[in-house]
Amino acid sequence: MEHKDFISRFGQYVDAREATVLVGAGLSQSVGFPDWFTLIEPLRAELGIDRIEDLPQLAQYFVDNVADGRRRLNQHLVETFAAVGDPAPARAHSLLAELPISEFWTTNYDELLERSILDATTFVKDSDLAGLVEPGLRRIYKMHGTVNVSDECVLTRDDYERYPTTHPRFWQLLQAQFLTQSFLFLGFGFSDPNLELVFKLVRLITPDIKREHFAVMKQVDETETPEKTAERARLLEMQVKELERVGVNVVMVERYEEIDEILGKLVARCRPPQVMISGSAPGDVKRTAAPGAYPTAEIPEGTRAIATAIGERFAQTGIAAVAAGELGAVVGYEMMRKLDARGAYDSGRFTLVRRQRDEELGPPNTRFGRVVFTGGSPVVLRSVALGEVRALLVLGGGDGTQHEIDQAAEVGLGVIPVGCTGGTAETWWLRMQQDLGNQVLGGRPIDPVVFADLMSEAIDKVAEAAARLVAQALFFDYPPMPTPVTAPA
């Protein structure tokens, strides 16, 4: 599956609160923790046998053939992880914490996931699932244990085979969620023994109750002989087909570091389905602000008319907006006026974000929508507003607007510049136009005709194009124009 298709489709399950993540060792390798091969390799050397592919079986051989084998295996786990130290969680862990997902599973023994998702309750022992859990908190299921309780970690072949009996609550809950949730398997390589768990679940699920799942998998490393690499590539191809046969869509990466990029885009996709209206009058000429107001340039009538038309068009769609300045407020207030006029007022459709200051509130201060007071600087204000949206609509603007565009692009938000309003919006429109074939919004290509209308002299075309592209950036299906209602004679 293409990366953009995965982001769009898995994002739909996140929106529906039907998404779960199962994290493997690949997410922890970037901060120094070992993969399974690195963890078990010293045992193979002590046993004096050649490389063995079945790593849980190798651990089982160590337990069965070395004096005090189980204790030594557990101690080896503790010492190996202790040698890494106490690294900070990887970027991928922090991104997972930003996803609006309630439940996470992991086969990892480290504590990086729970240190990232601070509002989560962590379950380590099977008996932990027998008690009451405070409602509203997220959950992390450490299905193979944790290094701090090494004597209960799942390590050997016997541990894996007896898992449904030794961990009945974990096993039954995992099966139930596999049937009712869409899983993202993250940080697993095809040589990871924990992948056998996925295959076992897959074989238990009958075709008539198939559920769509996703796996981000690492491609085969070309570090061995050409013959061995070709053999592993062929095995990978067969494993992918087996997964896809039962509804697991495979997204391939060459390096685990690519996961950060994918997760960053997924986080942006799964933010609240709102657009931030960015911009101001183009240029740097400032007018004197009223007491308590923020200094801004006078908005030209033409720009105000476009903002008003966009607000009116937004009212005919399901788009919700956030603004932090006067021009954005023009869009939001017009949208709310139109909604109010037809009896469809919804305060959640528009949020005005203002700086927290102990002084009288100046314009914009119309009593529509909601007002959020936060921070004391434009930097904090931008960060708060951009953290609550999936897209950025740009009208006019100067240096401050450019900072917002840069910040939005950095976190993967869709940017829609209304070029005909001049200033930064026009500059950005021209830049996107030069490379439009490689630009996407909402995981889809941009229609060049619609994009061109953002520079139209016809206000209705501009408003329609802005609404259509914003809807696309929000991953919405664009609604048709409402049928006019004829008043009775």
Q: Each residue of 300-351: pLDDT tens digit?
A: 899 999 999 999 999 998 899 999 888 999 999 999 999 999 999 888 899 8
For the domain spanning 274-473, the CATH number is 3.40.50.450
Taking 50 as the threshold, does the pLDDT of residue 91 lie above it? yes
Angstrom CA distances, 424 to 58, 384, 404, 427, 468, stand at 62, 21, 11, 5, 21
Taking 50 as the threshold, does the pLDDT of residue 486 lie above it? no
Most confident of 252-256, 392-396, 476-480: 392-396
Could you name the CATH architecture of 3-269? 3-Layer(aba) Sandwich (3.40)
Q: How far apart are CA 153 and CA 63, in angstroms?
A: 14
Residue located via tokens 């969680």: 89
Secondary structure (DSSP) of 310-341: HHHHHHTSS-EEEESSHHHHHHHHHHHHHHHH
Reference 202, options 382, 322, 22; nearest CA is 22
Q: Each residue of 254-277: pLDDT tens digit?
A: 887 789 999 999 999 999 999 999
Number of residues written out for the chain: 489
Say which residues have a Cβ less than 8 Å from residue 429's Cβ, sequence separation at least 6: 417, 418, 419, 454, 455
Q: How far apart are CA 458 and CA 87, in angstroms?
A: 57
Domain spans, the chain = 3-269, 274-473
pLDDT-derived band at 282, boundaries 50, 70, 90: confident
pTM here? Answer: 0.83
Q: Which residues pair with 342 in a beta bridge?
A: none
Q: What's the pLDDT at 246?
A: 75
Are 3-269 and 274-473 the same fold in CATH? Answer: yes
Say which residues have a Cβ less than 8 Å from residue 454's Cβ, sequence separation at least 6: 416, 417, 418, 419, 420, 429, 462, 465, 466, 469
